[in-house]
Amino acid sequence: MTSSVHKAVAGGREQSFTSPPGMELSDFASESVGSRLDSLRATDISVEADMLPSMQVPPEIMRKWQEIVDLLADILNVPSALIMRVEPPNIKVFVSSESKGNPYEPDEVACLNTGLYCETVMNTRRPLIVPDALQDEAWKSNPDIKLGMISYLGVPVSWPDGEIFGTICVLDKKSNGYSELYLRLLLQWRDVLQADLRSIAAAQREIEQREAKIRRLVDANIIGIIIWNVDGQILDANSEFLRIVGYDQHDLLSGRVSWADMTPPEWRDRNALAISELKNKGAVQPFEKEYIRKDGSRIPVLIGVASLEETEGQGVAFVLDLTERRRAEAEARESERRFRNMQMELAHANRLATLGQLTASITHEVKQPITAVLLNIQTAQRFLTRQQPDIERAKKAIDRAVLNGMRITEVVDRTHALVRKEPTRKDSLEINEAISEVIGLTRGEVLKNGVQVRTQLAEGLPVIQGSRVQIQQVMLNLIVNAVEAMSQMSDDRRELLISTQAEADCVLVAVRDSGPGLSEGDIERAFEAFYTTKSSGLGMGLSICRSIVEDHGGRLWAAANVPKGAAFQFTIPINSDCQD
Amino acid sequence: MLGTTALAGSSALPPLPRLPMSKVADNMERPLVLIVDDDEDVRSALEELLLSVGIDARCFGSTQELLHADLPERPGCLILDVRMPGASGLDLQQHLASNGNTRPIIFLTGHGDIAMTVQAMKAGAVDFLTKPVRDQTLLDVVTTGIEKDIAQRTAARLVKQHVDRYSKLTPREREVLREVAKGRLNKQIAFDLGISEITVKLHRGNVTKKMQATSIGQLIRIWELLPAEIRGERSP
């Protein structure tokens, strides 16, 4: 790795001089070294920097090294003991002993290629002893003489990979022979230094590997990653983030990308909340927000934020593009909506069709109370227009008419509820009551077909959670189907038994008829859409009924009735919330 | 002016005091309308309407209920809903007819279909009304029904009287009566029966007296009112 040092040194020679190349060494004499180094510090250096020379030495090691140079200066009784570090094209006082008469300040830099003692040590990679430079032609004009340092003992210090780190050396203002013992001591310290450098390098490699991993993650562009500050700026971003918000690298470098500007007004409160959460906890639970893209459009994102420990007011954020997910969600919602709509339409069509079959029955159901109303009112008129009006009996007749009128309203409301097309609501309901209403509506149909209806509605059934209209629709279908099936028979007794009973966790409803019954195949296929044994009808009824019952968390099935006919049964789970 | 003209017969009846059934039942000639409808509201409205014009009514929820009831022998009619659970109104009509019950029947229906109407009318219904029905229409029909029943009952009583009297005739007198009714002369009757004309005249006088007829013409009308099985007695 010597070559790299040479290269660095060579680079330094070409570019780093602030003073003209022809400048005499004497010129330096009139200036303090400090100010000269300062002027050098401002130099724009574009030397390709290897990782090692830029590596930080941790403070605890710096303290140890300080102790070493202090001891060294004490033991050798010299004004200066130094650890120098090469930072091409300069060399820097890395650690300087805190000893009397030491002119070297830490962090001072000097140019290489100026004939420094250390330069020779680094180039030769060998220890160097200069007992008295003033007596030595080769060292007579080296820069350190200006500081009065005429003797020197130094050894090279290397990184574990052999690359030069710098030197450890002592300097004296007087002539000094430096015994071999001192050289051995110096070499010993050098070994200590090199052991430290090994551990630093190892730690560095680890960090590098970790960083490389992180870099790969960032560059993989699976999610957008940004470094941001509280002032609203985005300091760094990967290309996925830039893609999400539609900016480019140039925008980023010119500081035009600002998370504050990209946040729509309605999301600013949420943002403020996130920042306060960040202050308290150091991280923010991922939340969804929107960004305004460069083209003004909006983009939904999921963002997770963490603060960077070392840097106050900065943080890292992970940004996930939710566009695709939102689109998929919207599509799912839309198809769900369409499905619901279609189901609603079908259910409604089925209700209309079933009610259509019951028109005569419903008319009858309404005509009965209308007949009663008219009769009662006409009776009242008679009582009032008598020669001796009977007010009391007229009033009674009118009272009865009022009750009849309410009954009409009930029938009309019930029918209207079934005809209406609207999303169904699930309420707490008493199933017996709902079923009784349907039996009322189908009464005429049942009578017309000479069917005897028997009911066995269990008392004290638990309340269920369900849609009244839908449950009634199921009952309507089952009853009309049963009546229709029985009407095909010639002379047999036509019986319809409707029963309810409580089971462990549900209410069981059964509709049994004494009709021709279902064949094995019919039982299996009865619930398929468009399957019908009738000459009229779409064959959707039972299929719709089954989906209604299943939508309520129950089951609908068919079986043979005993001794004859078919039995359709369904369950509706008991709504535990409604129990007291 | 509801009901005052059309229901002249009924309004002529004194307004009924609200008496318990047992006391009303004493008056066996007071009409009683029987209502059979499975709808309670309709039933009670009908009953109250009839009561408002002074006609007694009794309600039944089904045909079975009516058949099992112990009914007083009072003139009147039946108001029947055609369509009821169990036996329908038409079934009841048939049942009553086959048992010789001649009470006139008025049908009420929520939905008159022609076939049903025809069937009911053929079987002798007084009328076939659709719900909702106008009070006056109903009362008119009820009046007609009651009058018809009263007429039927009067006729039946008369026939019964004639039959009773007829039963008191001797076989010879019956023979003479049949021959007289055929319009045969005394001479012919005497010849056919192998008796003298005088004897025929004697029988004839006895028959007229026993049957409480005042003339031969009336005797012949009474004969014609007698049930067919009596008239056909011992006929060739």
Three-state secondary structure string covering A526-548: CCCCCCCCCCCCCCCHHHHHHHH
Q: Beta A164-172 vs A80-87: how paired, if at all?
A: antiparallel
B2 pLDDT band (50/70/90 cuts)?
A: very low
Q: Which two tokens stand for residue A251?
A: 């925008």
| Predicted pLDDT of residue A537 | 54
Choose among B48, B85, B88: nearest Cβ to A376. Answer: B48
B97 pLDDT band (50/70/90 cuts)?
A: confident
- In this prediction, residues B125-138 reach a mean pLDDT of 88
Together in a domain, B175 and B144: no
Choose among B1, B111, B132: nearest Cβ to A371. Answer: B132
| Predicted pLDDT of residue A199 | 92
Question: E strand or H helix at B179, and its extent?
Answer: helix B171-181
What CA–CA distance (Å, rounded) separates A399 from A385? 18
What CA–CA distance (Å, rounded) separates A203 from A284? 30
What CA–CA distance (Å, rounded) separates B120 from B140? 19
B79 within domain boundaries: yes
Give φ, ψ of A466 to 5 degrees. -175, 175
SS3 percent helix, strand, coil of chain B, rounded to 5, is 55, 10, 35
Q: Which residues of B touch A368 (CB under 8 A)?
A: 39, 41-42, 110, 131
* A229: β partners: A314
Residue B154 to chain A, least CA–CA distance (Å): 31
Structural domain including B221 reads 168-231
Beta-carbon contacts below 8 Å between A and B: 93
| Predicted pLDDT of residue A27 | 38
| Predicted pLDDT of residue A48 | 34
| Predicted pLDDT of residue A534 | 59
Could you list the beta-strand ranges (E) of A174-297: 224-229, 234-237, 283-292
Number of domains in chain B: 2
Together in a domain, B99 and B197: no
B4 within domain boundaries: no
Q: Which two tokens stand for residue B34?
A: 């029987």
Amino acid at A493: R
B7 within domain boundaries: no
Residue A478 to chain B, least CA–CA distance (Å): 20
B62 within domain boundaries: yes
What CA–CA distance (Å, rounded) separates A119 from A128? 10
B1 within domain boundaries: no
Nearest partner of A551 among A344, A318, A245, judged by Cα = A344
Together in a domain, B152 and B190: no
B233 pLDDT band (50/70/90 cuts)?
A: low
Together in a domain, B133 and B185: no
Together in a domain, B94 and B127: yes
Q: What is the DSSP letter of A58?
A: P
What CA–CA distance (Å, rounded) separates A426 from A572? 12
B137 within domain boundaries: yes
Domain termination residue (choose one: B156, B178, B211):
B156
Together in a domain, B41 and B125: yes
- Mutation site, B10, B52, B107, interface A, largest A CB count within 10 A: B52
| Predicted pLDDT of residue B72 | 86
Using a pLDDT cut of 90, give the percent of chain B over it: 34
pLDDT in tens, chain A (580 residues): 333 333 333 333 333 333 333 333 333 333 333 333 333 333 333 333 455 566 788 899 999 999 999 999 999 999 999 999 998 888 999 999 998 889 999 988 888 888 888 988 998 999 999 999 888 888 888 888 888 889 999 999 999 988 899 999 999 999 888 888 999 999 999 999 999 999 998 988 898 898 888 888 888 888 898 888 888 888 888 888 999 999 988 888 888 888 888 899 988 888 888 888 888 888 888 999 899 999 999 999 999 988 877 677 788 889 999 988 888 888 888 888 887 777 777 778 788 877 777 777 788 788 889 999 999 999 999 999 988 999 999 999 999 999 999 989 988 888 888 787 776 778 888 999 999 988 888 887 888 888 889 999 999 898 888 888 888 889 988 998 888 888 877 777 889 999 999 988 899 999 999 988 888 777 777 777 666 655 555 566 788 888 889 888 899 998 888 888 899 999 999 865 544 4
B105 within domain boundaries: yes
Residue B8 has pLDDT above 70, yes or no: no
Any chain B CB within 8 A of the CB of A323? Answer: no
Q: Report the chain A residue with the minimal C-alpha distance to residue B89.
A: A447
Together in a domain, B150 and B190: no
CB contact under 8 A, A374 and B133: yes
B14 within domain boundaries: no
Together in a domain, B78 and B142: yes
Residue A444 to chain B, least CA–CA distance (Å): 8
What CA–CA distance (Å, rounded) separates B144 from B159? 22
What CA–CA distance (Å, rounded) separates A87 from A8? 9
Nearest partner of A529 among A382, A397, A342, judged by Cα = A342
Together in a domain, B37 and B139: yes
Q: What is the DSSP letter of B124?
A: T
Together in a domain, B98 and B58: yes
SS3 percent helix, strand, coil of chain A, rounded to 5, is 50, 20, 30
Domain termination residue (choose one: B156, B178, B203):
B156
Any chain A CB within 8 A of the CB of B131? Answer: yes
Instruction: Residue B57: give its domain's CATH number.
Output: 3.40.50.2300
Domain termination residue (choose one: B109, B126, B156):
B156
What CA–CA distance (Å, rounded) separates A339 from A333? 10
pLDDT in tens, A370-414: 999 999 999 999 999 988 999 999 999 999 999 999 989 988 888
CB interface of A with B, residues 386-445, below 8 Å? 393, 396-397, 400, 403-404, 407, 444
Cα-Cα end-to-end distance for chain A = 87
Whether residue B40 contacts residue B61, with contact meaning beta carbons closer than 8 Å, is answered with yes
Together in a domain, B151 and B183: no
What CA–CA distance (Å, rounded) separates B92 from B76? 16
Instruction: Residue B210: give its domain's CATH number.
Output: 1.10.10.10
Residue B50 to chain A, least CA–CA distance (Å): 8
Together in a domain, B65 and B135: yes
CB interface of A with B, residues 438-477, below 8 Å? 444, 446-448, 450, 452-453
B23 pLDDT band (50/70/90 cuts)?
A: very low
